Structure 1
């Protein structure tokens, strides 16, 4: 069953469905020291205390961001007032109001820079208050499936909310939907989580039980067959390594000069056959001196495979490239004048595309 993805930016209505449950009756037995029931109770108490400790440590670093009629979340990045969030949260705005987790006072902030290709942006408080608590970011390479996670943000406008789940997958390459406020980026190595992520959670923190931010809440999956209703327990977060890499560049340079993303050095569009079925990605322009030009690819060539990955559209091409690294070699399968050919290509780096005030 196919699912779609939706960037979780602004408050939206939620629908509820009916559910059934059964009630089981049991006869309680006396509890004795050291019994399994006592151990279970102690374990539950310890887990609860662990949750509460993470919330106390991380939630003060999570803020609510408002721009026009849109609302999202952000993470305090440093004590200078820099806040990292999603590019689709800031959109085309350059001014924002920010509300800290421990305050009801709205603070003014301005755009530092936005990098839509990785759906990340940094804004800065104009008059940072004392006592700002920057978040501590974890090591993305150590994130494991089954790890407990807490998602923090302002879902549906409910500030300082927390949901819990686990890391349900790692290394996901996800293509965001295009639309108002959503850049349609393709992002690799995303963390998949079962923690509930709803509109308004975008830009908030996904934390582990060590109080480390391991990702920034970005997307929730939706089920097309239920008119876009949320697919329960499937959300995605940009990993901490990508956050810190991009945010550091935006803060220090006002732009990204090292995207870390592979590129062919072409402009392409989806190719369709006479039955209007997608058949590949046709090259409409080749960057002089780029990876494709050096390999001999030409305008009009239809790319059908990157390595072993089938390519039947521009989106599929972008997704395949997102999983690769600049400087790596791959085999490109393409059609020229009705003939299928292959060529080995050393990939270049995606040219940075960002906005700044």
Structure 2
């Protein structure tokens, strides 16, 4: 081997890697120092303990002034060492090589440091593994707890807290059918307002069971119902601690006002949904399926608060918790019309088009049902062609004359063939819309009717009459 200094080659075929106790090192083992045999120094020559023998002339073969040795990555930097006391100083030819014992000490310390590092790493990994497996302790995640929380006034939570105690769920059975609806308490005497289509199955020998927010239940009897307005009143007896809901003013409601609907959709009682008033005075008709006569005509409040089957009869309230409407119908796109949300499986879920009877109308009908058991409807005493579009056309039918002699329409001057196109300036597109507009008023009120006769518009004033509802 040639390392650039020919004088460093061992003589007589010596193997520098075969010197005990190392043997032949691997690629990471430190190489032992190379030592060249030298003659025995003359008597009286001092040699430092542990130093390599020095050839004649005082300088080892190799680089001038430095002993020859292989690079040892584990050795500490070389430096001068003090000779033992009483030992003559060496010639200034460079520091002597560390003693073999000192070099082994450095290697031992470095090896110990490496072992300590590996042990620390292994120990840390084992500790993490044990901790993850719960050997040391259970895992507890931080969580914020609230011990006393009060709902902000006007918030949905505050409205729900104040209104829910006055809302009830109705389970109705009878006439071969059963259903679930909602109602709300009107007074401390136990009167509850709901929809007529909710309690209609119990009209002949059926039962109405009322479930309060507390979970208590009671039987109720039907006080009265009116299909024309789709309203009914039932009453529970012997119940104390009732929570009547305050009634608001539906005439003061404006488009965009926030509202909350509460009910039992799909028998999930106490469900609260929120939205806004989407429209007011929206004329709708509902009921009357299969040729029935139980058609309701409502000048409704429209809302996007979610209303589903089972919400019928529940309150629609404002941000002060006052009832402004009675949830009654939803839009049914499959059938192309509004349906009471209890009409069996044909009624779909909410699509954001719900309709509520204005509470002003509901209050009037509820008072009549409680006081007399029946409600009255305003009428003008004319027969309408319900198939005509473009207005409400007065026309005779098989059984009824076009204008009732001596009735409100006759006295106002309405004639057969007249087309009523507006009520108090509000456009009318069909006979159904005319009935809705009229029924949003009370008997005895005066209305201005815009009438087309022979292609000419004219205005007539009619005083509403009264007819018994059913």
TM beyond 0.5:
yes
The question of whether the paired residues in 1 share the 8 Å contact of 2:152 and 2:158 is answered with: no
User: 169-178 or 209-218, which moves further after superposition?
Assistant: 169-178
Cα separation, partners in 2 of 1:239 and 1:196, compared to 1, 3 Å: same
The match for 2:279 is 169
In structure 2, which of residues 364, 382, 390 is the aligned counterpart of residue 266 of structure 1? 382
Structure 1 Cα separation of the partners of residues 214 and 370 of structure 2: 25
Structure 2 Cα separation of the partners of residues 310 and 283 of structure 1: 23
Q: How does 1:13-28 map to 2 (within 5 A)?
A: none
Cα separation, partners in 2 of 1:245 and 1:228, compared to 1, 3 Å: closer
The match for 1:328 is 447
The match for 1:283 is 396
Higher relative contact order (CA 8 A, sep 6+): 1
The question of whether the paired residues in 1 share the 8 Å contact of 2:168 and 2:185 is answered with: yes
In structure 2, which of residues 230, 241, 253 is the aligned counterpart of residue 119 of structure 1? 230
The question of whether the paired residues in 1 share the 8 Å contact of 2:154 and 2:320 is answered with: no
| TM-superposed deviation, 1:64 | 1.1
Structure 2 Cα separation of the partners of residues 287 and 155 of structure 1: 44
| TM-superposed deviation, 1:141 | 2.9
The question of whether the paired residues in 1 share the 8 Å contact of 2:309 and 2:349 is answered with: no
In the alignment, structure 1 segments of 5+ residues that lack a partner are: 1-44
| Count of aligned residue pairs for this structure pair | 297
In structure 1, which of residues 56, 74, 77 is the aligned counterpart of residue 161 of structure 2? 56
In the alignment, structure 2 segments of 5+ residues that lack a partner are: 1-149, 337-345
Deviation per CA, 1:51-71, whole angstroms, max 9, x where unpaired?
222111111111111222122
Instruction: Classify the secondary structure of the residue corresponding to 1:176.
Output: strand
| TM-superposed deviation, 1:350 | 5.3
The question of whether the paired residues in 2 share the 8 Å contact of 1:281 and 1:313 is answered with: no
The question of whether the paired residues in 2 share the 8 Å contact of 1:58 and 1:211 is answered with: yes
Structure 2 Cα separation of the partners of residues 319 and 256 of structure 1: 16
* Counterpart check, 1:200 vs 2:310: yes
Structure 1 Cα separation of the partners of residues 153 and 413 of structure 2: 60
| TM-superposed deviation, 1:48 | 9.3
Q: How does 1:240-319 map to 2 (within 5 A)?
A: 240-257=359-376, 259=377, 261=378, 263-271=379-387, 280-284=393-397, 285=401, 286-298=403-415, 300-301=416-417, 303=419, 305-306=421-422, 313-319=430-436
* Counterpart check, 1:234 vs 2:353: yes
* Counterpart check, 1:354 vs 2:469: yes
The question of whether the paired residues in 2 share the 8 Å contact of 1:115 and 1:353 is answered with: no
Instruction: Classify the secondary structure of the residue corresponding to 2:320.
Output: coil
Cα separation, partners in 2 of 1:157 and 1:170, compared to 1, 3 Å: same
Q: How does 1:35-114 map to 2 (within 5 A)?
A: 50-68=155-173, 69-91=178-200, 93-94=202-203, 95-105=207-217, 107-114=218-225
| TM-superposed deviation, 1:297 | 3.6
Cα separation, partners in 2 of 1:76 and 1:60, compared to 1, 3 Å: same
The question of whether the paired residues in 1 share the 8 Å contact of 2:385 and 2:392 is answered with: no
In structure 2, which of residues 247, 258, 266 is the aligned counterpart of residue 156 of structure 1? 266
Of Structure 1 and Structure 2, the greater strand share is in 1
Structure 2 Cα separation of the partners of residues 101 and 350 of structure 1: 42
The question of whether the paired residues in 2 share the 8 Å contact of 1:270 and 1:312 is answered with: no
* Counterpart check, 1:210 vs 2:320: yes
| TM-superposed deviation, 1:344 | 3.9
Deviation per CA, 1:68-119, whole angstroms, max 9, x where unpaired?
21221111111111001112212263341111121153x1111111122222
Instruction: Classify the secondary structure of the residue corresponding to 1:98.
Output: strand
The question of whether the paired residues in 2 share the 8 Å contact of 1:71 and 1:89 is answered with: yes
Instruction: Classify the secondary structure of the residue corresponding to 2:187.
Output: coil
